[in-house]
Amino acid sequence: MFGIVRPCRHGMCGGLFKEWMAHLCGLCLALRDEHGHASRLVTNYDGLLVSVLTEAQAAESSPHRRAAACALRGFKGADVVEAEGVRLAAAVSLILAAGKIRDHVADGDGVYARRPVAAVAERVAARWSTAGSGTAVAVGFDPEILVRAVEEQTRLEGVPGLRLLELTGPTEAAVAAAFGHTALLADKPHNRESLEEAGRHFGRLAHLLDAVEDLAGDRAAGAYNPLVASGTDLAAARRHCDDALLGLRLAVAELDLERRTLVRALLIKEIGRSVTRAFDMAEAAGGTRTGAESSKKRGREHPKAPHRDPRLKPDPGGLLSVMCAAMACCTCGLYRPPWDEDRYKSCGERCDASGCDACGQCGDCGNCCDCDCCSCDCCDCSCDC
């Protein structure tokens, strides 16, 4: 729901997490102020990277303001980013969310197979696409780049026999364009080439990890998945992800940044964790092959599924499921429905499950947040690095 970058307050220094939250709250408020409360449903973590990159290149390009109290912050005020980078993040989030909704409608996924739901979803997608395009134009970004990428992605999914990296191409192009535009917003045009390269690698990772996470479910439902469509197994997909991680790391190293720490924490550390988490979960679910061949044909059984908490209720589907998903999105994951596997886990348990160096296990701050300003026994330190 929120993307592949999923930072946790236990996984980074207190100062870094505060910076991250300033961008997250800034995006949420920008969506509300320009497009209404309903548009806050498209708030996602990956889109925030364009705001982070804009501020990292030139701090003066991202002014902050004091926001009023919010229930999601314990009815406290907060320092939030109010800049063109946040507006670009809002535009990208709206346009891509609209494209995803249309894709679900076209495929007839879940509740979208019902005509009344599909009709409402189409209207919402059209409204979000128009709103996002308007905001994109206002910050000097051509929205047609994203619209065409979404359309091309849909077209490629109907073409048989394509290789995996051909299928990820439209996503790579869309993210590259958004990342590259932050160089213009920050008045650092010499960064544009490296930012576009970073965007291509990040777009590839986002597409592949989404496919890996959905692999078991897509197989069971007979839905489209790029790994199955291209005949790619998890080992090959992991190699592509590792190559993209290396390319991303090299591209970030070439950037002229005034503030590098948060960018490194998100684009290198957190994405590396996401890769590990996605493939560990896929292998635990028995997704070690693509195509029709089963594990029995290879002489072994699927690994057992992780233990299910007996307190979890079954997902009822239908309107209630959609409403609960919307509630989880509106609260940035603070609310979790009774059938969510993370509902009864503490933050520390969720971090441990995702491979996070959390809850006092990281050793020292330099290993977990790439700073050298302190030496502590927990990532949640008070240094403002």
pLDDT tens-digit map of 191-213? 999 999 999 999 999 999 999 99
Global pTM value: 0.76
Residues 6+ apart with CB under 8 A from 113: none
Rounded distance between C-alpha atoms, residue 247 and residue 244, angstroms: 5
Cβ neighbours around 104 below 10 Å, total: 18
Residues of the chain predicted below pLDDT 70: 1-2, 9-11, 287-311, 317-318, 329-334, 341-385
CA dihedral 136, 48, 208, 341 (to 10 degrees): -130
Smallest CA-to-CA distance from 146 within 162, 131, 164 is with 131
CA 366 from chain centre, in angstroms, equals: 25
CA separation, residue 253 to residues 112, 194, 249, 275 (Å): 43, 9, 6, 20
CA separation, residue 366 to residues 233, 257, 357, 363, 379 (Å): 36, 20, 12, 9, 9
What is residue 318's predicted lDDT score, i.e. its pLDDT?
67
- In a 3-state reduction of DSSP, which class is residue 66? strand
Rounded distance between C-alpha atoms, residue 85 and residue 91, angstroms: 10
Rounded distance between C-alpha atoms, residue 385 and residue 382, angstroms: 9
Residue ranges covered by each domain of the chain: 15-290
Tell me the per-residue pLDDT of 222-256, one tens digit each, with 9 for 90 and over.
888 999 999 999 999 999 999 999 999 999 999 99
Which amino acid is it at 244? A
Residues 6+ apart with CB under 8 A from 171: 149, 153, 203, 204, 206, 207
Which amino acid is it at 325? A
- Residue 224 has phi, psi (to 5 degrees) of -70, 135
- Residue 47 has phi, psi (to 5 degrees) of -60, -25
What is residue 174's predicted lDDT score, i.e. its pLDDT?
94
Rounded distance between C-alpha atoms, residue 240 and residue 201, angstroms: 10
Class of domain 15-290: mainly alpha
Rounded distance between C-alpha atoms, residue 154 and residue 205, angstroms: 18
Rounded distance between C-alpha atoms, residue 283 and residue 261, angstroms: 32
Scan for tokens 């509300």, then name that residue. 32
Smallest CA-to-CA distance from 321 within 120, 105, 118, 110 is with 110
Q: Are 333 and 325 in contact (CB under 8 A)?
A: no
